[in-house]
Amino acid sequence: MAIGRMYIDGQWVESHTGKMREIINPFNQEVIATVTEGDEKDSKLAIQAARTAFDKGDWATTPASERGKIVQAIANLIRRDKEELAKLESLDTGKTIIESYADMDDIANVFQYFAGLADKNGGEVIQSPIPDSESRVVREPVGVCGQISPWNYPLLQASWKLAPALVAGNTLIAKPSEITPLTTIKVFELMEEAGVPKGVVNLVLGPGHTVGAELSNSLDVDLISFTGGIETGKKIMQAASSNVKKIALELGGKNPNIIFADADFDTAVDQALNAVFFHAGQVCSAGSRLLVEESIHDRFVDAVVKQAKKIKLGNGFDEDTQSGPLISAEHREKIEGYVEIAKQEGAKLVLGGKRPEAPELQDGFFYEPTIFTDCTSDMRIVQEEVFGPILTIEKFSTTEEVITKANDTIYGLAGAVWSKDIEKAEMVASRLRMGTVWINDFHPYFAQAPWGGFKQSGFGRELGHIGLEEYTEVKHIFRNKKPQPVGWFV
C-alpha cells in the first residue's frame, strides 16, 4: 500500500516524527491508505518554503497569462485523471461514485474558470482631480496563504482555494482534513506535473490542533482561508490576530427551505429530499430546515416521508446506492445525540432515528434518513448545524411569519423559496439574510457565482471574480507628471 506524503518546497517528504495515520473507507472501515502525520514543525517548514518562494521567487511577478496557463494545465490533468480521482474521493468519503464524478467535473471547471480570469484583472485608472497627474488602482497578491479544507468535499473545497490563490500570484500551504487527504495529495502530484514552481504550493498533513493551528498563528502567513465548523473558525479568528492576517471563513449553515402552498408540489417534494439527504446530509448548504405553508403541510409531510423511506443506502460504488455512510463513528454518535435531544425537546419523530438493520451495512457508519415534525424555532435541532441526514419540519401561515422564522438563526449561508408567484418569491429572497438564495431550486452553484455567508456562517467569498479578489491586496499608485517644489517651509 502506497504511503501518502507531504509536499514541501518541491519535495515529497514524510513527517519528521515518523508518525503515520491510517485512512479508512467509512463504508466498511477498511484501511485504504496510510499517510504521514505532520505536526507544528512540518507546518513551519512548509510556511518557510512558501515565504521564501513569495519573497525571493518569481511566481508573483510571472505574467498573469503564464500563471493562467499553468492553472489551465492543472484543469486538463484533473480531467485526464478523473476516474482515479473520483474513485479516491468515494473511497475516502463514502459518497457515491456518481457524485464523485460530478465533483471532479466541477473541480476541473473551477481551475479552468480562474485560469481564464488570470489576465483580466489589470486594475483601473482613476480620473485624478490633481492636474498633471495620473492615478491607478492595481491588485497584487496577498502573499503566503494558509488553506484549511474540510472532509465532506475534500478536493472540491480545496479547489475553491487553490485555483484563485495561484492565479493571483500567491504561494500557499494547504492542509486537507486528516481523515480525507487522498485526492488533495493526488492533485499536488498534478500541480507538480503542470509545472508549478518549487515552494509555491506546499501540502501539510495532520490534525488541526497542530498543523492547522500553526498556519493560523504564524507571523509569516498573510492570509488564512478556512472551511469548517464554527467553533474552530472562532479559534482561527483569534489566532489570526497575531499579525492581523486576512481571513476568509465559511462556517456552515442551518439553511431554510421555504415551501409556499402555490409551489409546484411534486418538484418541491423531490427537491426537499435532495436538499437534505444528498451526501447523507453532510453538506454545509443542506436544506435541513423545511418550512411548509400550513394549508399543504400535512400532505407535503406525507409525501416527503413516503419518498424518504425509499432512499437506498449502500456502497457508493453500487449503481443503485443513493446515499452512503456518515464519515466516521464519532460523527454518527454526534448525530445520534442530536436525535435524542430533539425527542426530549418535543419534536415528533416520523421517520428513521436509528442505524439501519441491513446486515450488509453493519460495518459502515450508516444512519437512516430521519424526519422530525412539530418543530419550533427554539429547538436545538432547528438552530444548530447537525450535518447529517436529519430533516426538521416547521409550519407557517403568513409570509411575514416565515421570513422571521427563516432568519431566526445565527447562520446565514443559504436558503430557498418555492412559489409560482415570482414577485412574492423575489420579495422573500430579498429579505433573507443569506449569502445564497435559490428560487424554485436547491443546491446549484457554479464557479462564476460567489459563495459565502452572512452572520456566523462566516465572511469573505469563494468562487466568482470576488473569490479571486479575496487573494489580492489593493494598491493605489499616484504619479505626478510635473513635480514642483511645494515651498511650504521656504
pLDDT digits (tens, 9 = 90+) for 131-151: 999 999 999 999 999 999 999
Provide, rounded to the nearest whole percent, the portion of the chain with pLDDT above 70: 100
Helices (H), 14-117: 40-56, 64-80, 82-93, 97-117
> Which residue type occupies 180?
T
Q: Is a pLDDT exceeding 90 seen at residue 46? A: yes
Average pLDDT over residues 400-405: 98
CB 447 within 8 A of CB 288: no
Split at pLDDT 50, 70, 90, the class of 345 is very high
Average pLDDT across the chain, whole number: 97
Q: Which residue has the higher pLDDT, 287 or 123?
A: 287
Question: DSSP assignment of 224-283, as one string?
Answer: EEEES-HHHHHHHHHHHTTTT-EEEEE-----EEEE-TTS-HHHHHHHHHHHHHGGGG--
pLDDT in tens, 199-254: 999 999 999 999 999 999 999 999 999 999 999 999 999 999 999 999 999 999 99
CB-side neighbour CA atoms (13 Å) of 378: 3
Q: Is a pLDDT exceeding 70 seen at residue 286? A: yes
Question: What CATH architecture applies to the domain 256-439?
Answer: 3-Layer(aba) Sandwich (3.40)
pLDDT in tens, 68-125: 999 999 999 999 999 999 999 999 999 999 999 999 999 999 999 999 999 997 889 9
Average pLDDT over residues 371-390: 98
Q: Is a pLDDT exceeding 70 seen at residue 341? A: yes
Question: Whole-prediction pTM value?
Answer: 0.97
Spatial distance between the Cα atoms of 287 and 416, rounded to a whole number of angstroms:
8
Give residue 31's pLDDT: 97
Provide, rounded to the nearest whole percent, the portion of the chain with pLDDT above 90: 98
- Give the residue from 170, 131, 123 showing the smallest Cα distance to 476: 123
Cα separations in angstroms, 450 against 47, 384, 410, 454: 28, 24, 21, 13
Average pLDDT over residues 299-305: 98
Spatial distance between the Cα atoms of 108 and 74, rounded to a whole number of angstroms:
8
Spatial distance between the Cα atoms of 466 and 290, rounded to a whole number of angstroms:
30
Domain ranges of the chain: 3-251+457-477, 256-439
Q: Is a pLDDT exceeding 90 seen at residue 321? A: yes
Split at pLDDT 50, 70, 90, the class of 1 is low
Q: Which residues contact 322 (CB under 8 A, 6 or more apart)?
A: 96, 311, 312, 313
Split at pLDDT 50, 70, 90, the class of 2 is low
**Three cell numbers written together for 332:** 454518527
Spatial distance between the Cα atoms of 418 and 409, rounded to a whole number of angstroms:
20
Cα separations in angstroms, 308 against 272, 273, 280, 337, 351: 10, 7, 12, 21, 8
Phi, psi torsion values for 39, nearest 5 degrees: -145, -160
3-state secondary structure of 293: strand
Q: Which residues contact 482 (CB under 8 A, 6 or more apart)?
A: 132
Q: Is a pLDDT exceeding 70 seen at residue 459? A: yes
Q: Is a pLDDT exceeding 70 seen at residue 34? A: yes
Give residue 56's pLDDT: 98
Residue with cell 476568509: 248
Give residue 122's pLDDT: 80
Residue with cell 493551528: 213
Spatial distance between the Cα atoms of 279 and 322, rounded to a whole number of angstroms:
9
Average pLDDT over residues 320-345: 98
Q: Please identify which of the residues 178, 250, 368, 394 carries the catalytic annotation.
A: 250
In eight-state DSSP terms, residue 360 is G
- Give the residue from 166, 219, 300, 301 showing the smallest Cα distance to 44: 219
3-state secondary structure of 322: coil
3-state secondary structure of 117: helix
Split at pLDDT 50, 70, 90, the class of 317 is very high
Q: Is 250 a catalytic residue?
A: yes
Determine how many CB atoms are found less than 10 A away from the CB of residue 76.
15
CATH fold group of domain 3-251+457-477? Aldehyde Dehydrogenase; Chain A, domain 1 (3.40.605)
